[in-house]
Amino acid sequence: MNLHDFYYDLPEELIAQDPLEDRAGSRLLVLDRQTGKNEHHVFREIIDYLHPGDCLVVNDTKVIPARLIGSKEDTGAKIEVLLLKRTSDQTWETLVKPGKKAKPGAVISFGDGLLKGEVLSVAEDGNRMIRFVYDGIFEEILDRLGQMPLPPYITHQLKDKNRYQTVYAKHDGSAAAPTAGLHFTPELLDAIRKKGVKIAHVTLHVGLGTFRPVKVENILDHHMHSEFYVVEEEQARLINDTKAAGGRIVAVGTTSCRTLESATGEDGVLRAGSGWTDIFIYPGYRFRMIDSLVTNFHLPESTLMMLVSAFAGRDRIMEAYAEAVRERYRFFSFGDAMLIL
């Protein structure tokens, strides 16, 4: 399967730089997988497509202010560190820029020495393992010194940090937001519950591996980075009971989808538990759990384009994306949404 099969042309001005004031006021393209028909709506109208007895599954991870700007202790050179994955109390796998200045043994100071990090080693992919030294609680120091790790295609400054969080964000740990969930408001979620739709929570801490460019021509040669997920017993029961009763499982975002598909066995039953997943979903994959998907519009040639193509069919997705471009939808993290039925 060729990487270029998942390419589409996107005018730069359609990349959303700022979130809308009204979260639920985004546009919503509804794609019917059976007919290939597209409909255009406002996001809050998603409630019209949810039926009593369905279960909406959201990812309640919380983005941490994972971007740190510091300087090398010996030279004063500016260094940017992005926290990716905590491997022990004080040690993190990180992405460092410029990497050539962060050799093992280098010490980086943040906030006039409030936080210091020593580079321990360099991984195969160039990521750095850094051990941090500090007094107090790491999360509090991070909240004081860190910045929200917005994707590189967003060049505007984020005025309100909470706009890069879902309204149900609960568990700290992500380096990027599960952006399909950004469209939901407490009022919309209440209305969905009142309609008889259940809302279940899973957790997947989003790493940057999901968004890294695919650099191989044959996508089967691509290696996914692993991400940590949790499915609680009560939530697994709620989702399994919905499925058994004939209700639909509607995954909010590719991260919820990947969590559900990782934790569901060949028998179609979702297992409670936690672990690491590097599941790579591309056309030909047989979905075990989800029936519908709420998702944003993704980067060309990304693994997320491959996932939605696996769910809806590549041709249907490419047609829907071409229509979204013609209709001037807003793309990527702060952009509009899509409901695939």
Closest Cα partner for 173 from 87, 58, 95, 280? 87
285-330: pLDDT as tens digits: 999 999 999 999 999 999 999 999 999 999 999 999 999 999 999 9
pLDDT bracket for residue 213 (50, 70, 90):
confident
Q: Has residue 211 got a pLDDT over 70?
A: no
Q: What angle do CA 89, 223, 96 make, to 5 degrees?
A: 45
DSSP secondary structure string for all residues of 232-299: -HHHHHHHHHHHHTT--EEEEHHHHHHHHHHHB-TTSPBPPEEEEE-----TT---SS-SEEEEE---
- Among 18-27, 157-166, 188-197, 266-275, which stretch is predicted with the lowest mean pLDDT? 157-166
DSSP secondary structure string for all residues of 36-49: --EEEEEGGGGGGG
Instruction: Report whether 146 contacts 68 (CB < 8 A).
Output: yes
Q: Has residue 212 got a pLDDT over 80?
A: no
CA gap 307, 281 in Å, rounded: 5
Q: How crowded is residue 238: how many other Cβ atoms within 10 Å of its Cβ?
A: 18
pTM for this predicted structure: 0.92
- Among 51-60, 116-125, 283-292, which stretch is predicted with the lowest mean pLDDT? 116-125
97 beta partners: 80
Interval 128-155 mean pLDDT: 92
Quick one: pLDDT at residue 232?
98
Q: Rounded mean pLDDT of the chain?
A: 95
CA gap 18, 68 in Å, rounded: 22
Burial class (CB in 10 A: 0-12, 13-18, 19+), 200: buried
31-44: pLDDT as tens digits: 999 999 999 999 99
- Counting residues of the chain whose pLDDT is more than 70, the rounded percentage is 99
Q: Has residue 173 got a pLDDT over 80?
A: yes
Residue type at 171 in one-letter notation: H
